[in-house]
Structure 1
């Protein structure tokens, strides 16, 4: 048994620990939230202009009266595990999310949730009390007795623990550029993780689309895998905004084509559901969409550095998988720090 003095010393050690988290997607934000609740100093660094990763919402203005709001990454999520349900219940209570529907085309009774103001609102809610630096691209890592993190803008951040939550190939590139070697077996496992690409088209329409209620349509077209009405979803009250997601094979084939060529093909494939002139559009390429293969555990821990990796490529995909990976990684860090 530890004496009270020893317990206090260990608590002070934990409270003085600093953790740097690279990646402001939902895994990184969950980890940051749990560590900060337990007294750790946490800093989140994200290369994007907005927080959230694939919790992505964008506005496209056409006129003073017409503005489209688009979820163009993750479209919705459901719950299987009680650990995730706890978070979802809080988001519901705080008015961050709502139930969108209980099935697309066929009702199955399983709740599908979406952000009240778009999926990025979940990330903003999680990040509101955290130290977050967006538009901050990390270019080099160095570890001696502490981590020294250097950014493209010549900023420096120091921490005792490093957490990496970007897509695994990006994390491996950063480790390579920093001349940080991994054990061969670990490196081989991580290199086997791969991702689907996904091209998204965000189209603002002149009039409502013909996408059936509740506004989401899963497809098995050779071009399109998903079509959604953000207006029916409730996040785009001032514009008829639709999101199109391309099938992985289409995304691979047309990745380097111009935005115009991609939009023409995907809007053409969706024409029977659009049923309206398109007044404005944008194209977004998700190089790392859903993982195709996964790491065998919910996180990777390298205590000798110390370094932890987590995200939706660890055990299970989608939003729930990313959250569960974050919870598991945070628990490990807290156990090792006490």
Structure 2
């Protein structure tokens, strides 16, 4: 594996990646190291998708830092370990713990300054455009990708956004997929998740190391970002609602959601809440998956990747991005 910033000989091949989550960033990194010119387009204000970290400033001395998407990850596959070792060496991530409640000896990793730091590290040498919503794509010898204020052109297109969003964009662009592929992609579905970012007056009562999975009608996860080490100047707690609660209260106002979830977590918070924010993840963890790490069309130079392929969470998304990078490199006649 080439070191970050290294490249093989420059090729004339070009690729556009729609979606700046970790799958898209991994693919873009793999391709750029092959000498392929890559452009990453993401509609969000910050790069990373569910590698999401937010600051809430309450006063000059109180600032909460929240991981409010992906909370941590572990390693099962040696291909992923290569990336993790690099992130550790570069000081991007750290070991948080070896389990919640009962230790099992398997490291759980988190970002040193939040999980978005992983995305920022991957993106630093890439051509990344945030706040860039793609509204239409078309293909005639090359892909033409239209955003709200600019056009981009490339030989290959990777869609690493949640699959329903990818299909919506293709439909709006009048691009018809083969029926078998269409049905396979439509079978990929996602849980929704409502998240509360709560800044507390005093330390929470969440047990060390600062994370707990709940079997509750309302809450599935609580995390203490202060104990986690990313929020030294604020007692910042992240609450993830269950998918059933999220479905039931998706359209409720923020105050009602906050009241119900904070009340359900009251024993673990054991503190007054001085401020909070609500975030709705329309596409949280996938419920169902495609059976391969990525999907490529034979008729068009178009590839799909993401955590809806084979396995969820960080490792699955990275392995999907790696597979897409290998496949695209091979399409361009390059050795990956």
TM-score by length of 1: 0.95
Matches within 5 A, 1:44-63: 44-63=40-59
Quote the RMSD (CA, aligned, Å). Answer: 0.9
User: How many Å separate the matches in 1 of 2:324 and 2:146?
Assistant: 23
Matches within 5 A, 1:234-273: 234-273=229-268
Give the match for residue 181 of structure 1: 176
Matches within 5 A, 1:231-310: 231-310=226-305
3-state SS, counterpart of residue 135 of structure 2: strand
User: How many Å separate the matches in 1 of 2:307 and 2:99?
Assistant: 23
Give the match for residue 8 of structure 1: none
Give the match for residue 3 of structure 2: none
1:101 correspondence with 2:97: yes
Give the match for residue 76 of structure 2: 80
User: How many Å separate the matches in 2 of 1:92 and 1:50?
Assistant: 22
4+ residue runs of structure 1 moved beyond 2 angstroms?
none
Which of 60, 64, 68 is residue 68 of structure 1 equivalent to?
64
3-state SS, counterpart of residue 19 of structure 1: strand
In the TM superposition, what whole-angstrom CA distance separates every residue of 1:259-316 from its partner, at most 9, and x where no partner exists? 0000000000000010110000000000000000001111110133200000000011
1:318 correspondence with 2:313: yes
Give the match for residue 5 of structure 2: none
User: How many Å separate the matches in 1 of 2:141 and 2:330?
Assistant: 20
Which of 99, 115, 118 is residue 119 of structure 1 equivalent to?
115
User: How many Å separate the matches in 1 of 2:112 and 2:298?
Assistant: 39
Matches within 5 A, 1:22-41: 22-41=18-37
User: How many Å separate the matches in 1 of 2:156 and 2:271?
Assistant: 52
Give the match for residue 7 of structure 1: none
3-state SS, counterpart of residue 148 of structure 1: strand
3-state SS, counterpart of residue 195 of structure 2: strand
User: How many Å separate the matches in 2 of 1:18 and 1:198?
Assistant: 36
Gaps of 5+ in 1: 1-10
User: How many Å separate the matches in 1 of 2:16 and 2:264?
Assistant: 44
How many residues are matched?
326
User: How many Å separate the matches in 1 of 2:180 and 2:141?
Assistant: 25
User: How many Å separate the matches in 1 of 2:36 and 2:189?
Assistant: 33
Which of 89, 93, 103 is residue 85 of structure 2 equivalent to?
89
Give the match for residue 6 of structure 1: none
User: How many Å separate the matches in 2 of 1:122 and 1:282?
Assistant: 23
